[in-house]
Structure 1
Amino acid sequence: MIQDRQGNPLAGASPKAAELFDLSCRRFARFRGDPVEPLDEAIADSPDFGMAKIAKAWLYVTSTEPGATAGARRLLRDIEKETPPGTEREIAHVKGLQAATLGNWTEAGRTLDLWSASHPRDYLALLIGHQIDFLTANARNLRDRIARALPAWDKLPERSFLLGMLAFGLEEAGDYPRAEAAGREALEREPTDSWAHHAVVHVLEMQGRAEEGRDFIRRRREHWAQPDSFLKIHNWWHLALCHLELGEFEAALQLYDDEIRAGESGIAMNLADAAALLWRLHVIGVDLGERWEELADAWTQHADGRCYPFNDMHAAMAFIGAGRRNDALDLLVAAEGADPGEMRDWMAHTGRPVIEGLVAFGKGKYADAAELLFPARQIYASFGGSHAQRDVIDWTLTEAAIRGRLHGLADSLIAERLSLRPGSRVNRAFAARARREH
């Protein structure tokens, strides 16, 4: 039977289709180029190639967009009808897909984890599993899924990409020295590894090394800012965060205009970056002009209150910023009609209080906002995103405590922030405003 580059069987594939499958995995690992295009070519060449169809469904569903998720469900139905899974690999992946397309991400991730335990060289399972760990904010498994598989990759050329994934997992688990070492080793081996670059940037962000982070991102621009880079906007967002921490607010806003929203991307991840940056600037009092309206309009295609609450939170920021609070609250109404499952639970336990807290902040009801947001700051293995992304909740909570004259809460939150990033201009500004409110 034809095999992929890592020695896994590819039932129904011709040699050409197998090469296209490997190309898709390489593009996905690099976040460079369209990974779906070669899969479409592989399916056209080999209509019975089940793993190509499965990989395409995985790419669709991990976009966390309602339209693409519906597409993944259609693909899954076609797979089950036209090319029923026959190999152990196909059966395991289809089982994971069945859970993911229903929004049960933890179950999907666990299914791939068990498969990878006995098949650690299944590149697709590791790439998708790592993204699921990110989507579920499972910091431990972001690290450990890759650590368990890494010894099996010692002599494989793609090992550096696993190092990049491990670096991100180590960073999210708080092991910053090892994370930075793994990320930089990955970049030495493959300078265009956008995920490894991104992992090092996260380390610099979490350690409060904003100036170093700014310079690192700028210096490596040729490696991550290419037109076909799927992570380029996210990395521009990270650069904007460095500018914020350094008090360079105009530079951050310029990046929003020139890079983050220049092409008016409709991809949910890019919209989340845009909303998170504008909201941070809004919270600290920067005049944003009419930027919110375009972003709010862009969010209407993805915000449904059901598919992925982490996205809905960012959509709510855009709606509130644009003065469309009812649109934000409509997400909560829509969520009540969601099918039972993990996404419905996430919205009920975390998404609803966060969105209600953001709405309260937008109304100037700061004490209410603080009460709603405070429980949501301790997120683990649910709701999604990285520590850096979820910090927007803490920004809002801290500002709400200051404006609501909740002195004890404000002082404690500011002390926490300064202990982690003592040089942050944002944190120092929080402290100065809190002193004025006493």
Structure 2
Amino acid sequence: MGRGGVLVERIAEIYTDGWGRIVAAMIRFTGGDWSLAEECAQDAFAQALRTWPESGVPEQPIAWLTTTARRRAIDVIRRAGVERAKLREVAIDASRRAAGQPEEPRDFPGDFPGSMEDASDERLELIFTCCHPALSNEAQVALTLRSVAGLSTAEIARAFLVSEKTMGQRIFRAKQRIRHAGIPFRVPPPHLLPDRLSAVLQVLYLLFNEGYSGDPRLCREAVRLGRVLVALMPDEPEVMGALALMLLQEARRAARLDADGDLVELADQDRSLWNAGQITEGAQWCERALRHGRAGPYQLQAAIVACHATATGLDDTDWAQIAGLYTALRKVAPSPVVELNRAVAVSMTETGPTEALRLVDDIDGLHDYHLFHAVRADLLFRAGHDPDDAYRSAIRLAPTEAERRLLTARLADRSATSPRSEPRTGPPTRPPAAR
């Protein structure tokens, strides 16, 4: 990779790490003008692409970008102030001339609003502001993914299965609602935190999922914000469960891809590559959460992943316990994906693949989901039936080239005798409202 490519890659890394921080700082600086804050942040990155090839990346790139964005905001605010002042002056001068009065001396407009005072964690404030109950759930998630994670409108639209224009309008209306309703930019007081918890946890996990299938820095950011949230709400078990779930899944990252970047199925992963420290910490958070006796979706999903993470292999996995956890999960968070994963677990118990195949065939709403057909193909093969058509459907629907290659290899081989696809125990990356 040439010098220019390395620089672009470095700026992309800084964008992932700093977008939410810069936007949050600019929202505070501009007095809550979300559109201006994002515009100035974008201008700052554009300026970096023009300037850094000659000057090099500064020692503190996020501080450089924030300062550049701030200067841009000052220019915009001052220009707007000058224009407003000129309009007032024209009107006053016309009135004075009509009355035969002399003109008065003109003053330059005063200073701009806002300040650059630091907050304890501006990104957390940004998340809670985005997740205000005055906004719909879809708007909360979309606005946070745009403002905190820096996902493009097109990327968010694909996640929600709507057009880019529709998503752009939704995000614009959410920003306008925040501004016109005077929603404060802050972490709410303790008595208001529970009202926004569900949306905040959903946003954190969607951010984690976006990184889990792509950029690991997004995973680290979601985990970091999860830790902040646990410190903020130390007695809320679902917050602990969400943190546990992210830690336990992140622990397996190093084993999920081979040297060529292809997916490695759960049955074939080198478990020595799993991060033992993250597994231990995640299991401890999960246990601590479950002791509260209020098992919610994130706690149950964390418990399922913990069963996989603490086993030495598929044969050592407590599949009966996993099936029971999925049964509990479908009571508190029913979805076709939960039913699909429960069927996989059932197939590995004494019940076997034939009964699991019946469960899969009874699931509605997943016929456009590649893993539905991949699981069904596996169960057909293990039950002694021809799986080829199911594999072809899975390949056709697979969203990434890596998954298509994996499924194509399975179709060519057809030698598996156990479920080799890593089960999706957490919520799908597609927001629930879009299912």
Q: The TM-score by the shorter chain falls in which range?
A: 0.3 to 0.5
Greater C-alpha Rg: 2
TM-score, scaled relative to structure 2: 0.39
